[in-house]
Amino acid sequence: MPRALCLTLCFAAVIHPARAQSDADAGGRQAALREQNALELAFARRALAEKRPDLACALLRDTLPQDDTEAERMLLLGRCSSATHARAQAEQYYRRAVALAPGAAAPRIELAGLYLAMGRQADAATLLTEAAGASEGQARAMLDQLSAQLRPNDPVSASLGSRDKPWALQLYMGMTWDDNTNAGPVSRSVPAVIGGIPVTFDLVEEAMPRKSAGAALGLNGSYAVRLDERFSLLFQAAWFGTGYFDRQDYNNDSTTLASALVYSDKAWSASLQPNVRYSRLDGRLQETSPGLVSRVAHALNDTVSLTAIGGYAKRVVHTDSSRDADTWQGGMGAIAQLTPNLQVGGEYLWQREQARAAVYSRRLSGPSVYLQYRVHPDVLLGANLSYTDVRYDQAMALFDQPRIDRQVIGSLSALWDVSRYAGRNMVIRAQYTHIDNPSNIGYGYFRRNMANLGVQMQF
């Protein structure tokens, strides 16, 4: 028997006796109605869990009393209506749920998610601000994840804080495995040219891929200041470090400091972000990169938004000044919230690096796509794939042509919200990344696999 038919018949089988019993007496009638209502809600939740929002809506609407004022019923009707793309109805149900349960965070958070899917960022920001003060545990984690759906690393999402708690602090602790910490080549033999004569070099063992496990630690902080209903100031700081057990000489860390002026209304959002990044290797400062990034997003309709990005950075390489470079970047993309649980997006980026020595100047371009799918209220899966064409301006010594790389990066990630069990807005993060970097220069052709597993806490 089909699952939907079974669920409907089973529902009728347990509801009808309750209705018959309700005719016995007035007291029994009230008890039966309460039992009937509980069963209706239970079956609706089951239908939603089994990916049948249409059935859940039918069950709840067909048995909806004229004077019903129950917040949970309205919340479930909002969920199933949103899942079936009946967004106008979903908005009305969520609004009733908010009015019936003014102290609850869930109706506001889910209505904000609906507004984000409709491209109404300003309305969503207001609801998320209202919900932030009342959110704890799992609800707080849901709010933070929902805010991040606007766009990964988008200052607009990070600025949606509460006036009572404008700051946020995130701590990550985990383990990592890297099978090529030094980006060693796939082959020890490297073809080259000396005086027009082809030769082959054999690399030393130390230059080949080196494996190691390690520990990772990350700390992110932000502070938002709302100037008015549309403008905000955002200040951010982040530090992330990796220490390898077997290859301490490849221990690395990076520090990023940034501020942003953020604008957001119903159809448009934009940010202007000055920033600086410091990277270190084996305890020594390697690069400093101050820069400026601008980002604009426009909602075409309630499903699709377009994005554009542009920026400039000055890269200073402390270990080799010939690699110092001016970097310009631009790109365009699109984001589609196909369902409340499924978001896809993609962008095409261009980057020009004008180095002090022409041999290190290069052009980079290519597309990237990503997908985020919430398979369960507590579990978010993600996938990302990018391709970058890298072309250097000038050939290096010993090679007869400029270097060309074709880098492909694929990653899979999973977030499991365990705050209901462990508190502290705790999320378990797992990620696997594969890098394939074919190159016409032998020592530049490498492959790399990295895996990470850790715990993230939000304060």
Q: Domain boundary at 154, 184, 200, which? A: 154
Q: Are 420 and 288 within one domain?
A: yes
Kindly state whether residue 162 falls inside one of the protein's structural domains.
no
Alpha carbon of 438 to those of 119, 198, 409, 441, 447: distances in Å?
Answer: 40, 21, 12, 9, 8
Instruction: Using alpha carbons, list the distances in angstroms from residue 134 to 140, 415, 419.
Output: 8, 23, 16
| pLDDT range class, residue 136, cuts 50, 70, 90 | very low
Q: What's the confidence (pLDDT) of residue 30?
A: 67
142 in the same domain as 239: no
Judge if 201 and 273 occupy the same domain: yes
Residue that finishes a domain, picked among 105, 127, 154: 154
User: Could you give the percent of the chain with pLDDT greater than 90?
Assistant: 38
- What is the model's pLDDT at position 129? 66
The count of domains in the chain is 2
Same domain membership, residue 182 and residue 145: no
At residue 163, the pLDDT reads: 54
Mean pLDDT of 68-93: 83
Q: Is residue 366's pLDDT more than 90?
A: yes
My answer on whether 138 and 14 are in the same domain is yes
Q: Are residues 149 and 178 in the same domain?
A: no
For residue 137, the model assigns a pLDDT of 42
Confidence of residue 351 (pLDDT cuts 50, 70, 90): very high
Answer with the one of 113, 133, 154 that is the final residue of a domain.
154
Confidence of residue 195 (pLDDT cuts 50, 70, 90): low
pLDDT at 177 over 90: yes
Q: Is residue 160 part of a domain?
A: no
**Are 87 and 205 in the same domain?**
no
pLDDT for the residue 54: 84
Q: What is the pTM of this model?
A: 0.70
38 within 8 A of 76, measured Cβ to Cβ: no
pLDDT of residue 167: 82
115 and 237, same domain (yes or no): no
**Chain segment 232-270, per-residue pLDDT in tens:** 898 999 999 999 998 888 999 999 999 999 888 778 888
Q: Note the pLDDT of residue 23.
A: 47
Percent of the chain with pLDDT over 70: 79
**Within-domain flag for 159:** no
Domain that holds residue 377: 167-458
pLDDT score for 285: 94
The answer on 251 and 150 residing in a single domain is no
Mean pLDDT of the chain: 81
Identify whether residues 345 and 366 lie together within a single domain.
yes
Shared domain for 186 and 121, answered yes or no, is no
Give residue 65's pLDDT: 57
Are 125 and 231 in the same domain? no
Q: Which residue has the higher pLDDT, 199 or 157?
A: 199
Specify the CATH number for the domain of residue 86: 1.25.40.10
